[in-house]
């Protein structure tokens, strides 16, 4: 078993021991306050789910910390050493051991267990909440190597984000340029078809015949450039028909004529 897996297992056991001790302290405090057992058990049922969720989130964050990357280890030469990691994950057990030593000579079992639980809670809180963050902060402030590495890492991250943003902008510009080139090409190639579609919309010809001819035109546009080409052809036809109608209202049948050609779908009438 690798060192990281061993540390994770120890930390899982330490966290479970810490939660058990906290639960014992809470139950003991409630009993000393005169709360009945049935009230404690009814509250514990709702608390188990909350404790489980909080523990899962906490362990996820800690496991990420135990598995720090090599680049972060260069910034934290003390807190990333195996000695410190062992001290960190075993702090609940060290606190319980300190509680046992402190309660030597106590004959009452309840008080002895309370001392062990309290020692676990205090030691774990001090190490996990106070000592570890302060130690990490001091490493960054006092060690020149840590500061230089952090500044270099942040600069590299900014450069990488800048490069990705430029690549994204370049790719977007290429896509827009290609779309514009395709649109101009379609306008030149499909202008006769656009004029014919505009004529079908305005000349009042036989509707069935107009639909068949429009379907042939739409199918050709689909074969040339897909849905985008069809949309461009429709826009051209509508613009031409409006110019030729001299203000008369134009009914756009094209979306319904082309329904089912490729991926073209007519708008819902509902």
Residue ranges per structural domain of the chain: 3-142, 190-257
Give pLDDT, residue 46.
Answer: 47
Which stretches within the chain are classed as H helix? 3-32, 37-66, 70-73, 82-89, 91-102, 109-125, 132-142, 144-189, 191-202, 207-245, 254-257
Give pLDDT, residue 171.
Answer: 92
In 3D space, the residue among 160, 139, 85, 117 whose CA is nearest the CA of residue 17 turns out to be: 117
Give pLDDT, residue 110.
Answer: 79
Q: Residues near 140 by Cβ (< 8 Å), separated by ≥ 6? A: 75, 146, 147, 150
Give pLDDT, residue 50.
Answer: 52
Give pLDDT, residue 1.
Answer: 57
Give pLDDT, residue 93.
Answer: 92
Taking only the tens of pLDDT, the chain with its 270 residues reads 577 788 888 888 888 888 888 777 777 776 666 656 554 455 444 455 455 555 555 554 455 444 444 446 667 777 777 788 888 889 989 998 998 888 888 778 878 888 888 888 889 888 888 888 888 888 877 777 777 777 787 888 899 999 999 999 999 999 888 888 888 888 888 888 888 888 888 776 677 888 888 888 889 888 888 888 888 889 888 888 888 776 677 788 888 888 888 888 877 544
User: Is the distance from CB of 222 to CB of 186 less than 8 angstroms?
Assistant: no
Query: Could you give the CA distance from residue 135 to residue 133 in angstroms, rounded to a whole number?
Result: 5
**What is each CA distance from 223 to 170, 195, 197, 261, in whole angstroms?**
29, 19, 17, 10
Give pLDDT, residue 270.
Answer: 43
Give pLDDT, residue 69.
Answer: 45
DSSP code at position 15: H
How crowded is residue 189: how many other Cβ atoms within 10 Å of its Cβ? 15
Give pLDDT, residue 166.
Answer: 93
DSSP code at position 246: T
DSSP code at position 242: H
pTM: 0.48
* Token pair listed for 60: 């996820």
- Label residue 114 exposed, middle or buried (CB < 10 Å: 0-12, 13-18, 19+): buried
């Amino acid at each position: 078993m690798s060192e990281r897996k061993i540390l994770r297992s120890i930390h899982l056991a330490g966290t479970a021991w810490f939660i058990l001790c906290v639960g014992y302290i809470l139950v003991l405090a409630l009993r000393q306050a005169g709360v009945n057992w049935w009230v404690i058990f009814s509250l514990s049922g709702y608390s188990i789910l909350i404790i489980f969720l909080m523990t899962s989130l906490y362990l996820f964050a800690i496991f990420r910390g135990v598995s720090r990357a090599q680049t972060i280890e260069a910034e934290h030469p003390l807190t990333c050493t195996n000695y410190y990691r062992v001290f960190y994950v075993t702090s609940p057990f060290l606190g319980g051991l300190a509680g046992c030593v402190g309660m030597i000579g106590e004959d009452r079992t309840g008080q002895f267990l309370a001392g062990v639980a309290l020692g676990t809670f205090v030691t774990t809180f001090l190490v996990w909440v106070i000592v570890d963050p302060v130690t990490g902060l001091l490493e960054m402030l006092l060690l020149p190597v840590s500061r230089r590495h952090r500044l270099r890492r942040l600069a590299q991250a900014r450069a990488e984000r800048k490069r990705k943003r430029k690549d994204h902008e370049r790719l977007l510009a290429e896509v827009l340029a290609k779309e514009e080139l395709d649109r101009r090409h379609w306008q030149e190639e499909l202008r006769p078809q656009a004029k014919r579609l505009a004529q079908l919309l305005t000349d009042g010809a036989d509707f069935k015949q107009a639909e068949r001819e429009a379907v042939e035109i739409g199918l050709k546009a689909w074969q040339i450039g897909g849905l985008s080409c069809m949309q461009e052809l429709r826009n051209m036809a509508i613009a031409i028909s409006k110019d030729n109608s001299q203000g008369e209202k134009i009914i756009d049948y094209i979306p319904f004529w082309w329904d089912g050609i490729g991926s073209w779908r007519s708008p819902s009438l509902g």
